[in-house]
C-alpha cells in the first residue's frame, strides 16, 4: 500500500500577474503518508496546497490525485474534490447552518449519502471530535477550536482519501491548539493521508513522516523530521528554523 | 451608441411583452381607442370613479357619445395629460383625440382635423381684487398656463409685448390654484372653462374680451384613420340636425347651465373623504396593485440579473453592467413616457396602460435590486464558496445553499427599502394617466378645487401605506436577526 502514490504534482508553475509564486514545484505523496510543509510567510505554501484540489489555476505542470488528472479539460473536478478534504485557517464553516447541517450538506448535495445515512455518519464524526452535543448549535456559538474540529468532521464526512490542512491552528487561541492537533494526530494514526501546512514544529516532529521546507516558491529541502530539523542541509532552512524555534 | 440604443429598446420591449398580460385583441373596424384628457371643464368632467361613464361627463364626451351612437361605432377612452395626447396619437396608442383641441397651423402639420364642433377663445383671469385691469397691466407679473395647450402658445406669443413671466402647469386646475393661492397673478385659459369654473363657485374674474378664437375639432393622425374622421363629420352633422347638439351645448354653456353637484358638499376633511370615497378607494387599490405586481416581477428579474453580475461569464457580467447602469440612470417619468408612447411605434401595437406602468416600475426597481443582489453576494466571504467547492459541491448548489442564504440576510433591509421606493414610484405614473392615488387626488381637486386638503389626505394615505410596510420590515428583520 505504501508504494501507491496518491498525489503526484509535477513541475507546477504559477504566477499572480508578475509575481511568480510557484517555481517548478514537484511533490509526490504515498497513501497513508503524513507530509508537513513549513516555510516563511508568502513562500507559496497555501497556493501550492490549493493547486492540489483545483482551487487555484496553474500555468504549467500536472497534478494527479487518486489517479485523476486535475488540470484536464475532461475531468469532473467536483467528483475529484469529493476525495480530497480541505481544512482552512479560518474554518470557513457555513454560518447559516447548524453544526449538523454543516457536516451533512455536501454529502447530501452530492448524493454521496442518503440524508438518513449522512446524519448517522455525521454523528460518528462529531463524536470523534467530541462535539456531538453541539449538533444543533450554530457556528457563531462555538469557540475557534470547536469550529476547526467541526470543519475537520465536515471534511471527513465525504470519506476523503486525502486531507489537506492549511495552517489549521494559526487562528486559534493557544489553549485551543492542543485539541485540534490531537484530532489530527488521531487521524494520522488511523492511516489518513495528510498534507499539512503548519508552524507547529513540535507537532511536525511527532506526526510527520516527511517534512518539506518551502521557500521562495520552491521546495528547498525535504526529508524525515530528524533530517530536516536536526541536520538541515540548506542554509535557508537553517535560518528559518533558527528564527521560528528561538522566538 | 447605436448598439446601446438597440439593446435598451430590445430589453424594454422584451420586458414589456413578457408582462403584456392580456393578449392584444384584434380590433373590429368599428371599435376605436380615443384619447382624451383628465377633467377639463366643461369639455371633459370625470366622475367619482375616475371615468367618463357618468350622465354628464362634459361637452366633448357627450358629443363623442352621441356621434358614436349615430354612426354605430364603439370606443374605449384613454385618459391622460393634455401634453401626452398628441404623442399618443403619433405613436398609435389612440386612433383619435377628443380633447377640446383647438385647430392651429402647427397641429395641422401632423394631425387631420374634423369639422369644427365649436369655437373657443382664451381669456385672462385674475382674483377679484386684483390690480390687473387689462393685458397692459401684466408687466412684471406672473401668468399661469397649461402646458401643451393653446393658452401656452398664445401667452408665449404676447409675453414680450406685455413683459410678464409664464408659469407652466400641467392642468387647468393646478393653473387656477396657482392664481387663487397667489403664486401667479393671472391665468390664461379657455374662456368656456374659466366661465364654467366661476359659475361653480371659484373666486375669479375674467378680464377684457375673448382672444385668439380658434375652431375646436376632433383629430386623427395625419393621413390615417380617414374613415373615423368621416364618421365623425357625418355624425356631427346629424346630431346638429336632430337637436342633440344644441341640447348638449345648452346644458353646459346656457344661461341655466348646470353646476357641479360637488361644489355644495361638506368641505371638512371628513366631508371630502366621504364625498370622494370611491375615488380614494380606487386610488389606494390601484397603488397597492401596481406596487405588489411590480415588486414581485422586479424581484424575480432583479435577482436573476443580480446573479449575472457575479457568475464567471463576461457576457452576463456585461449585460448586468449595462442593464443596471441604464435603468438606474433614466428618470422614471421619462422611462414611463418612453414605454407608453415610444415603444408602441417600435413594436407596432399598443401597450395597455397598466402594463406600461408595471413595466416602468419593474425596469427601474429590478435595476436597483440587481445591484444590491450582486453586491450582497460579493460581500459574502470568498472562503465560503471555496469551502463548499472543496467538498465537491457544484457551483450552482453552493450558490443556492451557502452563498445566497447569507447574501439575502445582508440584502433584506435593501429589499424593504426598495419596496418603499417602488410604492412611492407609482405616484409618478400619474403622468401617463394611471388612476392611482396621486392621479385620483388630481381628479378630485379638479372637481372641488380643495388642493391643500386633498393633498394632505393623499399624503396621509401614503404615510399609512408606508408605515405598514415599515412595520412589516421590522418584523422580517427581527426574524432574520434571530436566525443569526
Ligand atoms: N489571489 C491572489 N492574488 C494575487 N496574489 C496572491 C494571491 N494569493 C496569494 N498571492 C501571493 O502569492 C504569494 C504566496 O502566497 P501564499 O498564500 O501561497 O503564501 P504562504 O506561503 O501560504 O504564506 P503564509 O504563511 O503567510 O500563509 C504571496 O506573495 C501572495 O501575496
Ligand atoms: Mg498560507
Copy the grid coordinates of residue A8: 503526484
Q: Which is higher by pLDDT, B126 or B483?
A: B126
pLDDT in tens, A20-64: 999 999 999 999 999 999 999 999 999 999 999 999 999 999 999
User: C-alpha grid cell for residue A193?
Assistant: 493521508
Give pLDDT, residue A35.
97
pLDDT category at B25 given cuts 50, 70, 90 is: very low
| Predicted local distance difference test score (pLDDT) of residue B26 | 41
* Residue B412: per-residue pLDDT: 83
Check if the beta carbon of residue B90 is closer than 8 Å to that of residue B112: no
Dihedral, CA atoms, B279, B282, B286, B289, nearest 10 degrees? 160
B391 closest CB neighbour out of A81, A90, A140: A81
Determine the average pLDDT of the residues in B371-394.
95
Q: Is the pLDDT of residue A210 over 90?
A: yes
Q: For B348-368, what is the mean pLDDT?
A: 90
Q: Which residue has the cell 537553517?
A: A238
Most confident listed range (B102-106, B308-312, B352-356, B384-388): B384-388
User: Among A120-124, A204-208, B13-17, B354-358, which stretch is predicted with the lowest mean pLDDT?
Assistant: B13-17
- Min distance A77 CA to chain B CA atoms (Å): 7
Place of cell 513522516: A209
- pLDDT of B362 > 60? The answer is yes
Q: What is the mean pLDDT of chain A?
A: 93
> Closest ligand to A15 CA?
1
Nearest CA to ligand 1 atom 3: A16
The whole-number pLDDT of residue A79 equals 93
Ligand 1: nearest atom to the Cα of A44: 18
State pLDDT tens for residues B270-288.
Answer: 888 888 888 899 999 999 9
Looking at residues B197-226, what average pLDDT do you find? 85
Mean per-residue pLDDT for B128-153? 88
Mean of all residue pLDDT scores within chain B: 85
Please tell me which of the candidates A53, A90, A154 has its beta carbon nearest to residue B383: A90
A107 to chain B, closest Cα gap in Å: 8
Query: In Å, what is the CA distance from B9 to each residue of B335, B344, B346, B347?
Result: 11, 11, 8, 10
Distance CA A213, CA A216 (A): 10
| Least confident segment among A142-156, A158-172, B42-56, B377-391 | B42-56
Average pLDDT over residues B288-315: 94
Q: Which ligand is nearest to the CA of A38?
A: 1
In a mutational test of the pocket of ligand 1, which residue from A25, A36, A41, A44 has the highest number of ligand atoms less than 8 Å from its CB? A44
Residue A115 burial (CB count, 10 A): 10
CA-nearest residue to A87 within chain B is B387
B376 neighbourhood in chain A, CB within 8 Å? none
State the distance between the two ends of chain B, measured CA to CA, in whole angstroms.
47
Is it the case that residue B7 has pLDDT exceeding 60? no
Distance CA B344, CA B93 (A): 7
Dmax over Cα atoms in chain A, in whole Å? 55
pLDDT for B3: 56
More confident residue, B175 or B405: B405
Question: What would the mean pLDDT of B166-192 be, rounded to a whole number?
Answer: 84
| pLDDT over 90 at A156, yes or no | yes
- In the predicted model, is pLDDT for residue B1 greater than 60? no
* Residues A78, B394: C-beta atoms closer than 8 Å: yes
User: Is A82 in contact with B397 (Cβ distance < 8 A)?
Assistant: no
Inter-chain CB proximity B390 and A79 less than 8 Å? no
**Ligand at shortest distance from the CA of A40:** 1
Query: Mind giving me the DSSP string for chain A?
Result: -TT-EEEEEEEEEEEETTEEEEEEEEEEEETT-EEEEE--TTSSHHHHHHHTTTSS--SEEEEEETTEESS-TT--HHHHHTTEEEE-TT----TTS-HHHHHHHHHHHTTSS-HHHHHHHHHHHHHHTT-GGGTTS-GGGS-HHHHHHHHHHHHHHT--SEEEEESTTTTS-HHHHHHHHHHHHHHHHTT-EEEEE-S-HHHHHHH-SEEEEEETTEEEEEE-HIIIIIS--SHHHHHHHHHHHH-
Question: Of the spans A118-132, B149-163, B426-440, which averages the highest pLDDT?
Answer: A118-132
How high is the pLDDT of residue B474?
82
Give per-residue pLDDT as tens, B396-454: 999 999 999 999 888 888 888 899 999 999 999 988 878 899 988 887 876 676 778 89
pLDDT at B23: 41
- What three-state secondary structure class fits B145? strand
Give the pLDDT of residue A95. Answer: 95
User: Which site among A54, A95, A163 would you substitute to test the B interface, given the most B Cβ atoms closer than 10 Å to its Cβ?
Assistant: A95
Query: How many angstroms separate the alpha carbon of residue A48 from the centre of ligand 2?
Result: 9
Q: How far is the CA of A220 from the centre of ligand 1 (A)?
A: 18
CB contact under 8 A, B388 and A158: no
Which pLDDT belongs to residue B445?
Answer: 78
Verify whether the Cβ–Cβ distance B391 to A96 is below 8 Å: no
What integer pLDDT is reported at residue A1 of this predicted model?
Answer: 44
In chain B, what are the domains?
A: 26-119+216-263 (3.40.190.10), 120-214 (3.40.190.10), 274-483 (1.10.3720.10)
Residue with cell 491548539: A177
How far is the alpha carbon of A40 from chain B, nearest alpha carbon, in Å?
Answer: 22
Put simply, the answer to whether B406 touches A95 (Cβ < 8 Å) is yes
B393–A110 C-beta distance less than 8 A:
yes
Q: Name the residue of A36, A43, A57 whose CB sits within 8 Å of the most ligand 1 atoms, as the mutation to test its pocket.
A: A43
pLDDT at B265 over 90: no
CA of A44 to the centre of ligand 1 (A): 6
Residue A147 sits at the chain B interface (C-beta within 8 Å): no
Amino acid B41: pLDDT = 78
Q: Is A57 in the pocket of ligand 1 (CB under 6 A)?
A: no
Q: Do A78 and B393 touch (CB under 8 A)?
A: yes
The pTM assigned to this predicted structure is 0.70
Cell of B420: 418603499
Rounded to the nearest whole angstrom, what is the distance from the C-alpha of residue A45 to the centroid of ligand 1?
A: 8
Distance from the Cα of B480 to chain A's closest Cα (Å) equals 11
Atom of ligand 1 nearest to the CA of A89: 27
Asked if A96 lies within 8 A of B409 by C-beta distance, the reply is yes
Here the cell at position A12 is 507546477
The three grid cell numbers given for residue A104, joined into one nine-digit string: 451533512
**pLDDT computed for residue B54 by the predictor:** 82
Distance from CA of B299 to the nearest CA of A (A): 22
C-alpha of residue B389 to centroid of ligand 1, in Å: 20
pLDDT band at B258 (very low <50, low <70, confident <90, very high): low
Q: What pLDDT sits at residue B13?
A: 56
Neighbours of ion ligand 2 (CB under 5 A): A 46
pLDDT of res. B12 = 60
- Stretch B122-127: mean pLDDT, rounded? 91
Q: Report the separation in Å between the CA atom of B59 and the middle of ligand 2, taken as the mean of its atom positions.
A: 83
Please state which of the ranges B4-18, B75-89, B416-430 shows the lowest mean pLDDT: B4-18
Per mean pLDDT, which range of A25-34, B245-254, B307-316 is the poorest? B245-254
Nearest to A158 among B383, B386, B392 (CB): B392
Amino acid at each position: 500500500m505504501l508504494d501507491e502514490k496518491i498525489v503526484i504534482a509535477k513541475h507546477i508553475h504559477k504566477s499572480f500577474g508578475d509575481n511568480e509564486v510557484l517555481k517548478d514545484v514537484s511533490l509526490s505523496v504515498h497513501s497513508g503518508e503524513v507530509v508537513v510543509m513549513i516555510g516563511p510567510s508568502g513562500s507559496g505554501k497555501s497556493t501550492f496546497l490549493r493547486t492540489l484540489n483545483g482551487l487555484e489555476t496553474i500555468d504549467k505542470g500536472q497534478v494527479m490525485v487518486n489517479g485523476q488528472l486535475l488540470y484536464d479539460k475532461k475531468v469532473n473536478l467536483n467528483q475529484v474534490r469529493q476525495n480530497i478534504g480541505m481544512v482552512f485557517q479560518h474554518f470557513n464553516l457555513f454560518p447559516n447552518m447548524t453544526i449538523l447541517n454543516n457536516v451533512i450538506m455536501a454529502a447530501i448535495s452530492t448524493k454521496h449519502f442518503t440524508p438518513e445515512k449522512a446524519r448517522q455518519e455525521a454523528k460518528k464524526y462529531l463524536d470523534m471530535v467530541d462535539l456531538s452535543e453541539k449538533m444543533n448549535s450554530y457556528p457563531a456559538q462555538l469557540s475557534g477550536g470547536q469550529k476547526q474540529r467541526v470543519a475537520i468532521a465536515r471534511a471527513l464526512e465525504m470519506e476523503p482519501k486525502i486531507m489537506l490542512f492549511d495552517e489549521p491552528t494559526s487562528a486559534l487561541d493557544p489553549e485551543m491548539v492542543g485539541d485540534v492537533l490531537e484530532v489530527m494526530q488521531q487521524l494520522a494514526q488511523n492511516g489518513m493521508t495528510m498534507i499539512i501546512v503548519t508552524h507547529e514544529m513540535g507537532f511536525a516532529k511527532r506526526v510527520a513522516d516527511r517534512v518539506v521546507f518551502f521557500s521562495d516558491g520552491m521546495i528547498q529541502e525535504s526529508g524525515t523530521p530528524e533530517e530536516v530539523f536536526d541536520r538541515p542541509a540548506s542554509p535557508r532552512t537553517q535560518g528559518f528554523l533558527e528564527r521560528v524555534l528561538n522566538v | 451608441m447605436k448598439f446601446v440604443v438597440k439593446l435598451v429598446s430590445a430589453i424594454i420591449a422584451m420586458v414589456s411583452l413578457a408582462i403584456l398580460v392580456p393578449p392584444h385583441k384584434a380590433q373590429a373596424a368599428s371599435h376605436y381607442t380615443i384619447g382624451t384628457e383628465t377633467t377639463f371643464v366643461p369639455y371633459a368632467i370625470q366622475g367619482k370613479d375616475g371615468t367618463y361613464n357618468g350622465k354628464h361627463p362634459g361637452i366633448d364626451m357627450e358629443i363623442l357619445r352621441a356621434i358614436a351612437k349615430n354612426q354605430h361605432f364603439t370606443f374605449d377612452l384613454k385618459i391622460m395629460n393634455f401634453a401626452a395626447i398628441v404623442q399618443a396619437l403619433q405613436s398609435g396608442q389612440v386612433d383619435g383625440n377628443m380633447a377640446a383641441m383647438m385647430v392651429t397651423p402647427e397641429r395641422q402639420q401632423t394631425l387631420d382635423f374634423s369639422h369644427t364642433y365649436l369655437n373657443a377663445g382664451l381669456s385672462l383671469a385674475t382674483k377679484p381684487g386684483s390690480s390687473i385691469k387689462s393685458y397692459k397691466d401684466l408687466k412684471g407679473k406672473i401668468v399661469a398656463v397649461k402646458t401643451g395647450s393653446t393658452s401656452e402658445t398664445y401667452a408665449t406669443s404676447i409675453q414680450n409685448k406685455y413683459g410678464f413671466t409664464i408659469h407652466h402647469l400641467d392642468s387647468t386646475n393646478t393653473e387656477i390654484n396657482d392664481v387663487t393661492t397667489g403664486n401667479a397673478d393671472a391665468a390664461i385659459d379657455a374662456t368656456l372653462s374659466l366661465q364654467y369654473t366661476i359659475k361653480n363657485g371659484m373666486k375669479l374674474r375674467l378680464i377684457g374680451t375673448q382672444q385668439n378664437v380658434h375652431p375646436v375639432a376632433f383629430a386623427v393622425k395625419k393621413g390615417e384613420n380617414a374613415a373615423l374622421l368621416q364618421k365623425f363629420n357625418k355624425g356631427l352633422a346629424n346630431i346638429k340636425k336632430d337637436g342633440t347638439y344644441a341640447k348638449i351645448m345648452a346644458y353646459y354653456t346656457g344661461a341655466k347651465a348646470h353646476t357641479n353637484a360637488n361644489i355644495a358638499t361638506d368641505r371638512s376633511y371628513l366631508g371630502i373623504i366621504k364625498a370622494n370615497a370611491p375615488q380614494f378607494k380606487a386610488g389606494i387599490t390601484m397603488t397597492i396593485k401596481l406596487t405588489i405586481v411590480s415588486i414581485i416581477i422586479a424581484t424575480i428579474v432583479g435577482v436573476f440579473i443580480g446573479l449575472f453580475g457575479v457568475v464567471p461569464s463576461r457576457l452576463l457580467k456585461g449585460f448586468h453592467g449595462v442593464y443596471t447602469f441604464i435603468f438606474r440612470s433614466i428618470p422614471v417619468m421619462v422611462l414611463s413616457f418612453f414605454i407608453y408612447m415610444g415603444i408602441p411605434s417600435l413594436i407596432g401595437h399598443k401597450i395597455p396602460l397598466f402594463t406600461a406602468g408595471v413595466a416602468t416600475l419593474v425596469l427601474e426597481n429590478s435595476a436597483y435590486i440587481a445591484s444590491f443582489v450582486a453586491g450582497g453576494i460579493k460581500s459574502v466571504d470568498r472562503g465560503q464558496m471555496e469551502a463548499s467547492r472543496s467538498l465537491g459541491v457544484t457551483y450552482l448548489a453552493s450558490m443556492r445553499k451557502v452563498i445566497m442564504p447569507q447574501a439575502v440576510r445582508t440584502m433584506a433591509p435593501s429589499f424593504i427599502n426598495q419596496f418603499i421606493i417602488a410604492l412611492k414610484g407609482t405616484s409618478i405614473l400619474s403622468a401617463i394617466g394611471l388612476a392611482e392615488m396621486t392621479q385620483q387626488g388630481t381628479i378630485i381637486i379638479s372637481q372641488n378645487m380643495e388642493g391643500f386638503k386633498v393633498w394632505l389626505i393623499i399624503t396621509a394615505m401614503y404615510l399609512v401605506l408606508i408605515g405598514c410596510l415599515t412595520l412589516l420590515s421590522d418584523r422580517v428583520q427581527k426574524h432574520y436577526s434571530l436566525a443569526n
